[in-house]
């Protein structure tokens, strides 16, 4: 037996590695019964996320404060966790017209690992430190390590390097703190329990990760003025036809104008739904509306408050 196998730590005690009693006979179930089992297990995920509300709220407050000060959110993970971090980072610019540098994703194994699993990359702890150094992480940034099983060396060392550089750190795992300890500013634990396929954390743990990342990035964007009510007012309306249509409908919803009038107003606002809405409600020119939005920190609701 090679040295690699002789000295592998037993992870069988971890919550994400345990066998799920409900799925012991998974291979013997009918497709219909297997569907019902998987569906029942998936329904437990939102409840597990809700139980972590205090830590998630702290994370949203930390990220939004960091963004207001010009800092970045950097996700770090391996495998499914890494891919979900990269995905969330990639989805922010078209949704919120944010600078691509504002939310970034680091995955063990680099870009190749996005398309095909790079087994072993997660065990190279030095690569985690190097990735943080390459991003020039500093005091004004937030680094969020994602490791559903909690033990990924790449993530542990990335967070250690981020702490050394005085960045804020967040950790997301699906195992109890008593099973895996982590030194960080905010520790989020989503206890989704054993998977129907033992150890396959691309299932419930992956779903929980996606829910948490959605919540953190979206609600942090809300805090910095990227929405008006539930309207996506800071989208990149020039990116594609779908977003041109959405921006037009956003302006129509916020102003009560017809579709044609909203399209004309959006054109006059040079594609900015925010500017268009403020122009309409306050009777301002585009430069005046832009200046008012800047004065109000980019928040449409504040800009429309005539008492300001």
Provide the annotated active-site residues: 91, 122
What is the rounded CA–CA span in Å between residue 225 and residue 293?
10
Give the residue carrying structure tokens 């190749």: 112
- Provide the H-helix boundaries in 102-203: 112-115, 125-134, 153-164
What is the rounded CA–CA span in Å between residue 276 and residue 264?
10
Other C-beta atoms within 10 Å of 188: how many? 22
What is the rounded CA–CA span in Å between residue 30 and residue 236?
46
User: What's the token pair of residue 127?
Assistant: 């690569």
CA neighbours closer than 13 Å in the CB half-sphere of residue 67: 28
Burial of 253 (0-12, 13-18, 19+ CB in 10 A): middle
Pairing status of strand 73-77 against strand 186-189: unpaired
Q: What angle do CA 20, 21, 26 make, to 5 degrees?
A: 75
Q: Which residues of 1-29 are buried (b: 16+ CB within 10 A; e: fewer)?
A: eeeeeeeeeeeeebbbbeebeebeeeeee
**Is the C-alpha dihedral spanning 279, 285, 286, 288 positive or negative?**
negative
Burial of 37 (0-12, 13-18, 19+ CB in 10 A): middle
Cβ-contact 294, 274 below 8 angstroms: no
Quick one: DSSP state of residue 104? Answer: E
């Amino acid at each position: 037996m090679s040295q690699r196998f002789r000295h592998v730590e037993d992870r069988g005690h971890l919550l994400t590695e345990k066998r799920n009693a409900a799925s012991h006979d998974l291979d013997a179930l009918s497709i219909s019964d297997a569907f019902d089992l998987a569906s029942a297990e998936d329904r437990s995920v939102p409840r597990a996320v809700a139980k972590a509300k205090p830590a998630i709220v702290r994370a949203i407050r930390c990220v939004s404060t960091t963004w207001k000060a010009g800092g970045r959110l950097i996700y770090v993970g391996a495998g499914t966790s890494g891919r979900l971090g990269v995905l969330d980072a990639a989805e922010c610019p078209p949704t919120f017209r944010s600078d691509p540098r504002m939310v970034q994703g680091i995955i063990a194994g680099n870009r190749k690992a996005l398309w095909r699993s790079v087994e072993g990359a997660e065990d190279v702890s030095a690569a985690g430190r190097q990735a943080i150094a390459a991003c020039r992480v500093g005091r004004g940034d937030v680094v969020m390590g994602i490791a559903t099983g909690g033990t990924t060396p790449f993530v542990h060392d990335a967070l250690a390097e981020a702490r050394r550089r005085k960045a804020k750190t967040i950790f997301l795992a699906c195992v109890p703190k008593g099973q895996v300890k982590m030194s960080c500013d905010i520790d989020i634990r989503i206890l989704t329990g054993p998977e129907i396929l033992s150890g396959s954390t691309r299932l419930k743990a992956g779903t929980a990760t996606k829910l948490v990342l959605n919540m953190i990035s979206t609600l942090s964007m809300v805090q910095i003025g990227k929405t008006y009510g539930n309207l996506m007012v800071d989208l990149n309306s020039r990116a594609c036809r779908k977003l041109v249509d959405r921006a037009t409908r956003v302006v129509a919803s916020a102003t009560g104008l017809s579709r044609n009038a909203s399209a004309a107003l959006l054109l006059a606002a040079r594609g900015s739904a925010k500017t268009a809405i403020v122009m309409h409600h306050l009777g301002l020119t585009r430069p005046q509306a832009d200046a008012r939005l800047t004065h109000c920190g980019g928040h449409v609701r504040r800009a429309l408050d005539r008492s300001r």
